Structure 1
Amino acid sequence: MIIERVNASVASYEPTEWPWSVPCVRQLLDEGLRITAPVTFLVGENGSGKSTLVEAVAEGFGLDPWGGSHDWRYASHRPKSVLGEQIRLDASPHGRRMMGSWSARKGFFLRAETAVDALDREGFAPHSVSHGEGFLAAFRGKFLQRGLYVMDEPEAALSFASCLELLGHIDQLAKSGGQVICATHSPLLTALPGADIVELGDHGMRRVAWRELALVDHWRRYLADPQAYLRHVLD
C-alpha cells in the first residue's frame, strides 16, 4: 500500500456551492476516506463525485491534474482543482518515502487526453490505432512500475475483451506492489477479487460488495429483460 487514507479540510465553506454540495465531498471533509486494499473502485452515477475525487487524489500525490505520469507534466499551467488544493494523503512508510522525493515518486493519472499523449511520447502513432487500443498501449507502456495509478473511467473506450485485458493489468500492478484508485461504471472491472468498492451517491460514500452494487443489479436486470427498461425511454 502507498496511500492509506484520503483527507480534506477547509476552514469554512458554503454547502450549496460545488464541490462542497456533493455528498461524498462533504463526507470526505467530515470523516476522510480510509483505503483498505491495493485496488479501490469508486462507483456511482454521473454527478456523484467520482471524477472530482480521483482528480483530487492525483493532485494530492503530485500528478498533473490534466493527466499524465510522474515524470512528465504537459499541462503544468493548469491550476489545481478546488478540492485538490485541500487534499491531504496519509501514506504508508513506503508511500512517505515515495512522496518525499520527486525522483522517487512513481505514478500515473489516466484520463481520456492522457492516452493519446502517452502513445505519442512512447513513439507510437496515435492515429494508427483505435481509441481503445490507445488506452491499452498506455497501460502496456506506462503502467509498469510500483507506484500510484489513478484512473477516471478507463473502460470508456474499451470493448469487453479489452476491459478483461485492462483488469489483468490492474491485477498485476496490485500484485507487484502498486496501488490503483479508479472511478468506474464497469461491473466487469469492479468484479476484481480482493478489490475495495466504494459506492458514491446521495448517501455520500459507503463500502458495498460487488453483488450489492446498484450498477450490477441494473445490468443484470437489463440483460435479462431489456424491454423492462426500454419501455420507459422509447416511444
Structure 2
Amino acid sequence: MAKLLTLKKQVKKLIIERAVCQVASTNPNQWPFNVPAVAQLLEEGLTFTVPITFLVGENGSGKSTVIEALAEAYGLDARGGRAGRKYVNDRPKTPLGEVMQLDYTPKCSKYSASFRRRKGYFLRAETAFGFMSFVSGMYRYWEENITEMSHGEGFLTVLNTMFDDPGLYFMDEPEAPLSFSSCLRLVALMNRIATTGGQVICATHSPLLTALPGAEIFEFGSHGIRMVSWKELDLVDHWRRYLNDPSFYLRHILEED
C-alpha cells in the first residue's frame, strides 16, 4: 500500500476536485440543509485532494445524505447502480442532490459533458441487495446469481466485477455485510482503484477502512465537517477503548436496564 502515499501529489489522477451547491433555492431551516455538515457544505463546498476520501460520523450526521447527493450529481441513481445507465423510475433527486454540482479536473472534464462516458458505480448497503438481485445476469453486470450467496459474498461479487475500471466510485457503508477479512479485501480494492486512475468517496463507520494509508478523512458532526487524521477519529478512540475494556462501556448501558 506504500504506493498510495505518493498520490497526494498526483492530483491529475482525480476525476472530481470539488463539490459545490447552488444555495439560492434552499431553505436553511429545513432538512437536510439544517444539518451542520450540510450547512457547511452549502457555504464552503468540499474539496478533494487525493483519490480516496472517507466521510465519517455518527448516525444522522449527514454523511450518507452527502454521498447520495454526490452520486446523483455524477448522474447515478440514488438507490445505487452503474454510471452511464439510466434506470426506470420517476423518483426526483434528493433535495441536496438537486443543488449539488461537481467540478471535474481538466483530465476528466469530458465526463461533465457526456453522461454515457462516465464510469463508476454507487454501492449503498441499505438498498444494494435488492438492486443487485434485479440486475444479476444483465449485460455488463455479473453473471453469478447472488441470491444463492450470502450477503457478504454478493457484495464481494459486485465489488470485484463493477469496480475494475478507472472511474468514480461511491460507497455508503460498504462494510455492513463484510467480515474482517473481507473488509481487508475491500481496502486492497480501493487501493487498486486509486493507483490505476480512479477515485473513491466512501461513507463509513469502519476504523479498518479509514486506516488506508494516504486517504483523506472528513469527520461529520455537530461541528460541521473537519478533516482529521485516522488517530484523531472519535470512532477509532471509541473502538480502541471498547476493545481494551468492554466493561467501561457496557456497565453504563446494562445498568440503565
Q: TM-score range by the shorter chain?
A: over 0.9
What does residue 242 of structure 2 align with? 222
> Per the alignment, do residues 170 and 75 of structure 1 end up closer, same or farther by CA in structure 2, a change over 3 Å counting?
farther
1:58-77 pair list within 5 angstroms: 58-77=71-90
Q: How far did residue 85 of structure 1 move? A: 0.4
What does residue 82 of structure 1 align with? 95
What does residue 153 of structure 1 align with? 173
Q: Secondary structure at the match of 1:5?
A: strand
In structure 1, the gaps of 5 or more residues are: none
Give the Cα–Cα distance (whole angstroms) in 2 for the partners of residues 82 and 33 of structure 1: 17
What does residue 194 of structure 2 align with? 174
Q: 2:206 is matched with which residue: 170, 176, 186?
A: 186
Q: Secondary structure at the match of 1:230?
A: helix
What does residue 131 of structure 1 align with? 151
1:33-44 pair list within 5 angstroms: 33-44=46-57
Give the Cα–Cα distance (whole angstroms) in 2 for the partners of residues 111 and 8 of structure 1: 22
What does residue 94 of structure 1 align with? 107
Note if contact 2:85-2:116 (Cα within 8 Å) is conserved in structure 1: no
% identical aligned pairs = 56
> What letter is aligned with 2:107?
H
What does residue 50 of structure 1 align with? 63
1:29 aligns with 2:29: no
> What letter is aligned with 1:208?
V
Give the Cα–Cα distance (whole angstroms) in 2 for the partners of residues 13 and 85 of structure 1: 10
**TM-score normalized with structure 2 length:** 0.88
Q: Secondary structure at the match of 2:17?
A: strand
In structure 2, the gaps of 5 or more residues are: 1-13
Give the Cα–Cα distance (whole angstroms) in 1 for the partners of residues 194 and 156 of structure 2: 17
Note if contact 2:84-2:117 (Cα within 8 Å) is conserved in structure 1: no
> What letter is aligned with 1:109?
F
**TM-score normalized with structure 1 length:** 0.96
Give the Cα–Cα distance (whole angstroms) in 1 for the partners of residues 89 and 187 of structure 2: 30
Q: How far did residue 100 of structure 1 move? A: 1.5
Q: How far did residue 233 of structure 1 move? A: 1.0
Give the Cα–Cα distance (whole angstroms) in 1 for the partners of residues 237 and 16 of structure 2: 30
What does residue 234 of structure 1 align with? 254
What does residue 4 of structure 2 align with? none
Q: How far did residue 36 of structure 1 move? A: 1.0
How many aligned residue pairs are there?
Answer: 235
1:144 aligns with 2:164: yes
Q: Secondary structure at the match of 2:253?
A: coil
Note if contact 2:70-2:100 (Cα within 8 Å) is conserved in structure 1: yes
- The runs of 4+ residues in structure 1 deviating greater than 6 Å are none
Note if contact 2:123-2:170 (Cα within 8 Å) is conserved in structure 1: yes
Note if contact 1:187-1:215 (Cα within 8 Å) is conserved in structure 2: yes
> Per the alignment, do residues 90 and 204 of structure 1 end up closer, same or farther by CA in structure 2, a change over 3 Å counting?
same
Q: Structure 1, residues 173-205: CA drift from partner, whole Å, max 9, x if none? A: 000000000000000000000000000000100
Note if contact 1:64-1:75 (Cα within 8 Å) is conserved in structure 2: no
Give the Cα–Cα distance (whole angstroms) in 2 for the partners of residues 76 and 70 of structure 1: 15
Note if contact 2:173-2:202 (Cα within 8 Å) is conserved in structure 1: yes
1:102-141 pair list within 5 angstroms: 102-112=115-125, 113-115=127-129, 116-117=132-133, 119-121=136-138, 122-141=142-161
> What letter is aligned with 2:193?
L
Give the Cα–Cα distance (whole angstroms) in 2 for the partners of residues 21 and 219 of structure 1: 29
> What letter is aligned with 2:204?
T
Q: How far did residue 4 of structure 1 move? A: 0.2
> Per the alignment, do residues 93 and 140 of structure 1 end up closer, same or farther by CA in structure 2, a change over 3 Å counting?
same
> Per the alignment, do residues 209 and 82 of structure 1 end up closer, same or farther by CA in structure 2, a change over 3 Å counting?
same
Note if contact 1:45-1:201 (Cα within 8 Å) is conserved in structure 2: yes
